[in-house]
């Protein structure tokens, strides 16, 4: 009996030692990590010097990981495969993640620089993908359009998405290669919503894309700009943030937002529900909303900044460039991508597979 009691006491003591050791380890890790912020963002989506500037100003170490698409980021956050403090999703993904309880409400008292963000973007978010502006702060925005070579195609003759279906441009057309983006071009060309879940409209858009296939030189995303700059193609779909850089390298390129309207993206800073360093995340977002920081980012990215304070610092020629900063009238028929729900996702995937298999 005595030996059993001794053994029992020893086991209890061992268990206590393990618990204490674990507590010390956890406390140590917490102390080590409290001055970190883990940022998960698109690759090459900020001026690299800003990371060092933030670290120098705040004493908070930035751990930056990158992804290529919203669809790559989503399961990482949903499954908690990685624990991040700040992410940068687009409109439809913000809507989805908020519905699923994956985002934390933002404390705007900690983000005074929100005053620099154009209220038009906040109103749009409130009315569509982020009611109450609870979960997102706009970071970068832009629209899809057609970049074309005016030496090969007369200036002003490209006005519609349907121009990408003209046989005279066979073998000279670049299309985007992404389910919602590519389908969206076809849907808009046919006069439908980017966010439709009607089978008849998705079927029509799919058939229209299949009809276009023999005319397309390449389906590309990041390389589309380079193919147009290098004269490998005459016209193609790019985001307006690519426009200035492309025109610097090839003065013959012009950019147009099609008359049917287009896709407007708004990539925004959000804080995941399971963020370890929410306070640091808010400091990061506030830093990114600062006038000088947003201005520096524009010079690096040349996307349409939603930061009005930074925009005021830009040269008049840039501020008045309607390709870069479209007017409200130009955007009247344009849309943000919305979350279409699981059934909608299945529908889009179904028709995308049909298009890809043809």
pLDDT for res 22? 37
- Compute the average pLDDT of residues 72-98: 94
Distance CA 8, CA 14 (A): 10
Cα torsion 161, 243, 95, 127: sign:
negative
> What is the CA 143 to chain-centroid distance, rounded?
12
| Euclidean distance between CA atoms 238 and 230, whole angstroms | 15
Tell me if the domain spanning 31-141+266-324 has CATH number 3.50.30.50: no
Q: Residue 56: what pLDDT? A: 98
Going by C-alpha positions, the residue among 60, 64, 69, 61 that lies closest to residue 40 is 64
User: 216-236 b/e with 16+ CB inside 10 Å = b?
Assistant: bbebbbeebbebbbeeebbbb
Helix (H, G, I), strand (E, B) or coil at 42: strand
* pLDDT at position 25: 35
Q: Please, how many CA atoms are within 13 Å of residue 299, restricted to the half-sphere of its CB?
A: 13
Across 256-283, average pLDDT: 96
Q: Which residues pair with 311 in a beta bridge?
A: none
Whole-number pLDDT of residue 138: 98
Number of CB atoms found within 10 A of residue 83's CB: 14
Residue 24: band (very low, low, confident or very high) from pLDDT cuts 50, 70, 90: very low
DSSP code, position 47: -
Where exactly are the structural domains of the chain? 31-141+266-324, 142-264+336-357
What average pLDDT does this structure show over 95-116? 97
142-264+336-357 has the same fold as 31-141+266-324? yes
Distance CA 50, CA 287 (A): 9
CA distance 324 to 244: 8
Confidence check: pLDDT of 14 > 60: no
Q: pLDDT value at position 32? A: 43
Q: Torsions phi, psi of 300, nearest 5?
A: -85, -45
What is the band of 33 on the pLDDT scale with cuts at 50, 70, 90?
low
Token pair recorded at residue 201 = 């409209």
How many CA atoms lie less than 13 Å away from 221 in the CB half-sphere?
Answer: 8
Q: How far is the C-alpha of 246 from the C-alpha of 317, rounded, in Å?
A: 17
Q: How far is CA 262 from the centre of its chain?
A: 16
Residue 9 in this model has a pLDDT that exceeds 50: no
pLDDT bucket at 231, cuts 50 / 70 / 90:
very high
Report the b/e string of 180-192 with b at 16+ CB within 10 A. Answer: bbbbbbbbbbbeb
**CATH superfamily of the domain spanning 142-264+336-357:** Periplasmic binding protein-like II (3.40.190.10)
CB 103 within 8 A of CB 135: yes
Stretch 152-181: mean pLDDT, rounded? 97
What value does the mean pLDDT take over residues 346-351? 97
Question: Angle at CA 247, nearest 5°, toward 182 and 290?
Answer: 80
pTM for the predicted model, two decimal places:
0.86
CA distance 177 to 221: 6
Phi-psi bin for 64: left (phi > 0), alpha (psi -120 to 50), beta? beta
User: If 0-12 CB within 10 Å is exposed, 13-18 middle and 19+ buried, where does residue 58 land?
Assistant: middle
Query: Does residue 237 surpass a pLDDT of 90?
Result: yes
Say whether pLDDT at 325 is over 60.
yes
Q: Whole-angstrom Cα distance, residue 285 to residue 272?
A: 13
Share of the chain above pLDDT 90, in %: 86
Q: Is the pLDDT of residue 120 over 90?
A: yes
When pLDDT is averaged across residues 13-30 and rounded to a whole number, the result is: 38
Quote the CA–CA distance of 354 and 192 in Å, as a whole number.
19
> What is the model's pLDDT at position 222?
79
pLDDT (0 to 100) of residue 274:
87
pLDDT at 111: 98
Confidence category of residue 110, pLDDT binned at 50, 70, 90: very high
In 3D space, the residue among 88, 103, 52, 31 whose CA is nearest the CA of residue 268 turns out to be 88
């Amino acid at each position: 009996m005595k030996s059993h009691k001794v053994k029992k006491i020893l086991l209890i003591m061992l268990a206590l030692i393990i618990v204490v050791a674990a507590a010390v380890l956890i406390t140590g890790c917490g102390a080590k990590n409290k001055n970190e912020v883990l940022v998960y963002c698109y690759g090459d989506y900020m001026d690299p010097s800003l990371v060092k500037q933030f670290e120098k100003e705040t004493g908070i170490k930035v751990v930056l990981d990158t992804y290529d698409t919203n669809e790559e980021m989503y399961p990482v956050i949903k499954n908690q495969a990685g624990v991040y403090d700040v992410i940068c999703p687009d409109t439809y993904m913000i809507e989805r993640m908020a519905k699923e309880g994956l985002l934390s409400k933002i404390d705007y008292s900690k983000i005074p620089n929100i005053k620099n963000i154009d209220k038009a973007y906040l109103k749009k978010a409130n009315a569509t993908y982020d009611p109450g502006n609870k979960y997102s702060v706009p970071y970068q925005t832009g629209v899809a359009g057609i970049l074309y070579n005016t030496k090969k195609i007369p200036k002003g003759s490209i006005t519609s998405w349907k121009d990408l279906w003209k046989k005279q441009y066979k073998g000279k057309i670049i299309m985007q290669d992404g389910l919602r983006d590519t389908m969206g071009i076809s849907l808009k060309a046919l006069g439908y919503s980017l966010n439709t879940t009607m089978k008849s409209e998705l079927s029509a858009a799919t058939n229209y894309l299949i009809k276009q296939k023999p005319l397309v030189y390449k389906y590309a995303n990041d390389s589309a700009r380079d193919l147009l700059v290098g004269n490998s193609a005459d016209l193609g779909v790019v985001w307006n943030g690519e426009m200035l850089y492309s025109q610097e390298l090839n003065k013959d390129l012009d950019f147009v937002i099609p008359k049917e309207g287009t896709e407007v993206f708004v990539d925004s800073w959000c804080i995941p529900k399971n963020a370890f360093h929410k306070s640091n995340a808010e400091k990061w977002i506030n830093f990114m909303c600062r006038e000088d920081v947003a201005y520096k980012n524009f010079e690096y990215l040349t996307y349409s900044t939603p930061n009005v304070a930074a925009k005021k610092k830009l040269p008049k020629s840039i501020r008045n460039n309607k390709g870069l900063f479209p007017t409200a009238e130009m955007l009247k028929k344009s849309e943000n991508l919305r979350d279409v729900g699981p059934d909608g996702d299945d529908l889009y995937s179904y028709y995308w597979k049909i298009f890809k298999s043809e």
